[in-house]
Structure 1
Amino acid sequence: MTGKERREQLLTIGRTLFAERGLDGTSVEEIAGAAGVSKPVVYEHFGGKEGLYAVVVDREFEKLLALITEALTSAIHYRSKLEKAALALLAYIEENPDGFRILVRDSHGGTGTGSFASLLSEIAGEVEYVLAREFDRHGYDDKNAPMYAQMLVGMVALIGQWWLDVRKPKREEVAAHLVNLAWNGLSSLEPRPSLDPKRRRKERERMEKAAEKAAAKAEKAQRKQARRAEEH
């Protein structure tokens, strides 16, 4: 095994162990034993478990940040940006659960320190830029963009942590509900949210027809009630 191959092997093993036990719960002996090497080999490549952990965290940090940044910049419509970003996070969690556990295990988004908090800060910066342009376009005060960016990113991050363990419903459905709340607000939630624009349009048309039908029914009832009042 070449030095590069050995390094990648140690990173893979360390990633699994750190996800299960965290940095403090993992020893150099365990890493070396799982790799079938002596402890000095681990020290030679990374200087110890802290060095190995730092590389693992950095890789996961960059991977997830790149996915979400691409999602935010690849879509044109702002709802699509939010949809793609939510899906990117959930897809990363589904495909890299160990990596996400490492990012959130030893840090918390609200503490202001640690790898996950740093990641959220980077993502919020991207979202802030997008929101500032949109606020300015609609005549809103773009000074509020940083606050709204933190709100959106915090919401997405927390649903990601929750979904990491429950894994239900499917990621597309979770993303649809997340965007439903973020885009429409509690006062205008869609009864059947979807990431598919055609399905959303059909649902709007269905709701409009139902509203028209309800309004016509109410009007008919009012007329009937008025006639009864006149008869009496």
Structure 2
Amino acid sequence: MGEAAGQDTAQKDGPRPRKRMSGTERREQLIAIGRSLFSERGYEATAIEEIAQRAHVSKPVVYEHFGGKEGLYAVVVDREMATLHKAITASLSTHRNLAPHSSRLRLERVTLALLTYVEEHSEGFRILVRDSPVAAADGTYSSLLNEAIGQVEYLLAADFARRSLDPDLAALYAQALVGVVSSSATWWLDVRRPSKEVMATHLVNLCWNGLAHLSAEPTLDPRTLEFGARGAGLAPAEERD
């Protein structure tokens, strides 16, 4: 009887109202929703109305926390950048005191660190690799790549000098190396095969073995130079004009 009476009371009272979120909880909820939508649709196609609707709040609540879509996007990008930057920095700094020949180990670590971020933070990586219309507090994915390029250039310049190669070309090779890894990671984001470990192994295989057998004075085949002189198959100059 007591149990039945309790059930009757619960039915009369109706469902309990939802617990009101604190300001911090609401902010985190909006960031999570915004992150998901920005990843799925991109910045331009995401509307404040849908963010508010998914959070079951009014639009003014979103504006109150972030000042608008741009502010929310900047927070999302800033957090993703911080996460990726921490992973990349840790992968390089862990072996900071190793001998110069440890460059391959550094390349392996940073490649695997990037692929691990792609695997564990897919939504965030999709946001970062898109053209960002907003400059977040800690920069953009492009700025992070530039930082990585700078560190790789430093390592390559020292290695080139030891091997009697032109250290001034280290910047060119650093651009190429970081570009290969970054572009491959973007491709792997969708296919997810092979595994990140196998992916890292083959990327390093391509990059490192290419570096290990660099020619001090590489040349193009004369037929390639002739082809280029003809405009690489393009229309004659007068037609292009």
Taking structure 2 as the reference length, what is the TM-score of the superposition?
0.71
Instruction: Quote the residue 2:66 is aligned against.
Output: 46
Alpha-carbon distance between aligned partners in 2 of 1:119 and 1:102, rounded to the nearest angstrom: 14
Instruction: Quote the residue 1:210 is aligned against.
Output: none
* From 22, 28, 32, the counterpart of 1:8: 28
Alpha-carbon distance between aligned partners in 2 of 1:63 and 1:142, rounded to the nearest angstrom: 32
CA contact (8 A) 1:64 1:92 kept: yes
- Report the aligned-residue RMSD: 1.9
Q: Helix, strand or coil for the counterpart of 1:185?
A: helix
Unpaired segments ≥5 residues, structure 2: 1-20, 133-138, 214-241
- Aligned: 1:97 with 2:122: yes
Cα offset, 1:88, TM superposition: 0.4
Cα offset, 1:187, TM superposition: 9.5
Instruction: Quote the residue 1:161 is aligned against.
Output: 186
Letter in 1 for 2:144: L
CA contact (8 A) 1:22 1:102 kept: yes
- Aligned positions of 1:30-41 closer than 5 A: 30-41=50-61
Residue-by-residue CA offset, 1:105-156 (whole Å, 9 max, x unaligned): 235xxxxxx9332221122122222222333344433222211111110000
Instruction: Quote the residue 2:89 is aligned against.
Output: 69
Alpha-carbon distance between aligned partners in 1 of 2:162 and 2:79, rounded to the nearest angstrom: 36
Letter in 1 for 2:165: Y
Higher helix share: 1
Q: In the superposition, relative to structure 1, how do residues 153 and 139 fare at CA in structure 2: closer, same or farther (>3 Å)?
A: same
Residue-by-residue CA offset, 1:141-199 (whole Å, 9 max, x unaligned): 322221111111000000001000000000000000000000112997xxxxxxxxxxx
Letter in 2 for 1:69: T
- Aligned: 1:29 with 2:44: no
Instruction: Quote the residue 2:107 is aligned against.
Output: 82
Instruction: Quote the residue 1:133 is aligned against.
Output: 158
CA contact (8 A) 1:91 1:171 kept: yes
Q: Percent identity?
A: 60
Q: Looking at both structures, which has the greater relative contact order when contacts are Cα pairs under 8 Å and sequence separation is at least 6?
A: 2
Residue-by-residue CA offset, 1:38-67 (whole Å, 9 max, x unaligned): 111110111101110011111111211221
- Aligned positions of 1:164-203 closer than 5 A: 164-185=189-210
Unpaired segments ≥5 residues, structure 1: 108-113, 189-232
Q: How many residues align?
A: 182
Alpha-carbon distance between aligned partners in 1 of 2:93 and 2:105, rounded to the nearest angstrom: 10
